[in-house]
Amino acid sequence: MKTMDVVVIGGGIIGAFVACKLNKSGIKKIALLEKLEIGNGATGQSGGIVRVYHSDPLLSDLALEGFKEYQAECDLSEQECAFTRTGFLYMESVHEFADLQRECSRLLTNGAAIEILSAQEGASRFPEFKWNDLNGAIYEPDAGYMDPLLATKALTRKLANRGVELYEGIEVYEILQEQGQTIGVRTSAETIYCPHVIICAGAWSSALLSDCTISERIRSKSIQFQIAKLQHAPRTGFIDSSMDLYSRPYMNDFTLIGLPVDEWDIDVEHRTSIDLGQERRVLQAASHRFSHWGEVSTYGGRKSFDAYSVGGCGIVEEIPELKGTIIASGFSGSGVKIAPAVGNRVVQLLS
């Protein structure tokens, strides 16, 4: 009979950081189970933008905690993440400059490298963007993007060397319980007995919890970004809060550009090619924000999905009907930047 202290379900960046933090906390027998291969889910498709400021202070705090850990190279070196520093602008046209100043001061006090720009300052420092309708921006000089798949593979390799049992191609079918207490998992290989299960199964998480009310709080949602070649590609990333348009440099001369997609409860077993209607919407929106739009060539993009939750900060909670089982999912397009913080939350919940 196979027994473990903790089983972590899901080999994405959240599962990897959760297993890493549990291992560091001194838990001995940890198994990480991935039904296909490491990075099969959102992690393998992610844009990998790592930045701090969000309009929701709770999300900013999680992102700051994650950012500090990435910067301090706590669990992964910059090389292992393939981190590229580009700087990042959060352009604000909704909230007033004074609100931005307040939140910026709070984050500065908490150790974020962050500055606030008026629209005039923005226009003179970043003329590659149009600033006429903006109230200002938050600028993070140290922000950038990483390769989440590379990072997750590097982290899981380290974990295997530290004695965490890593299983790929093994699916968890069911979480076993006795009188509301977790006792193990039934998998495609064998039953593993354990008092604690951490569900880090991204958009698949609710399928494992179909009998529990928490499953209603997690929904799958499409994410699509485009790859374009612009005449004057900006070297800085940005998000434009008025329409949630975002962008970052992509490889050497290309630019990744995206807008939210309003497609919910999708079939997560089948990824599809990109939606060309969405591509048109992205290009249309981007033409309002980039100064030198002119000739643009597009090179497709990527369509995938993530688990979403109300508020977007995700759910890291013990399941009321399944004592001993914790869910860590619903990170709503932000899971990479907050993954180290999520790992810390899970350790706090277990201790």
Q: Of the candidates 75, 306, 309, 344, which one interacts with ligand FAD according to CB under 6 A?
A: 306
Sign of the torsion formed by the C-alpha atoms of 67, 235, 135 and 109: positive
The whole-angstrom separation of Cα 205 and Cα 328 is: 9
Interstrand relation of 196-199 and 325-329 (parallel, antiparallel or unpaired): parallel
The whole-angstrom separation of Cα 197 and Cα 7 is: 5
Kindly report the backbone phi and psi dihedral angles of residue 145, in degrees, each rounded to the nearest multiple of 5, phi listed first: -140, 160
Residue 302 lies near ligand FAD (rule: CB under 6 A): yes
Q: How far is the CB of 37 from ligand FAD (least distance, A)?
A: 8
**What letter would DSSP give residue 55?**
S
Kindly report the backbone phi and psi dihedral angles of residue 161, in degrees, each rounded to the nearest multiple of 5, phi listed first: -70, -25
Among the residue ranges 113-121, 131-139, 199-207, 287-295, the one whose residues contact ligand FAD (CB under 6 A): 199-207
Nearest to 137 by CA among 90, 180, 173: 90
The whole-angstrom separation of Cα 131 and Cα 93 is: 9
Looking at residues 109 to 168 of the shown chain, list those that interact with ligand FAD (rule: CB under 6 A): 148
Looking at residues 26 to 55 of the shown chain, list those that interact with ligand FAD (rule: CB under 6 A): 33-36, 40-43, 45-49
Looking at residues 4 to 23 of the shown chain, list those that interact with ligand FAD (rule: CB under 6 A): 9-15
Cβ-contact 254, 228 below 8 angstroms: yes
10 or 131: CB nearest ligand FAD: 10
Q: How far is the CB of 163 from ligand FAD (least distance, A)?
A: 20
**What letter would DSSP give residue 130?**
-
Cβ-contact 196, 325 below 8 angstroms: yes
Among the residue ranges 116-124, 194-202, 227-235, 285-293, the one whose residues contact ligand FAD (CB under 6 A): 194-202
131 or 142: CB nearest ligand FAD: 142
Q: Of the candidates 122, 136, 184, 202, which one interacts with ligand FAD according to CB under 6 A?
A: 202
* The pair of three-digit structure tokens given for residue 108, joined into one six-digit string: 């500065």
15 or 324: CB nearest ligand FAD: 15
Nearest to 173 by CA among 198, 155, 190: 190
Binding mask 326-345 for ligand FAD (x = CB under 6 A): ---x-x-xxxxx--------
Residue 208 lies near ligand FAD (rule: CB under 6 A): yes
Interacting residue ranges for ligand FAD, rule: CB under 6 A? 9-15, 33-36, 40-43, 45-49, 148, 171-172, 200-204, 208, 223, 225, 302, 304-306, 329, 331, 333-337
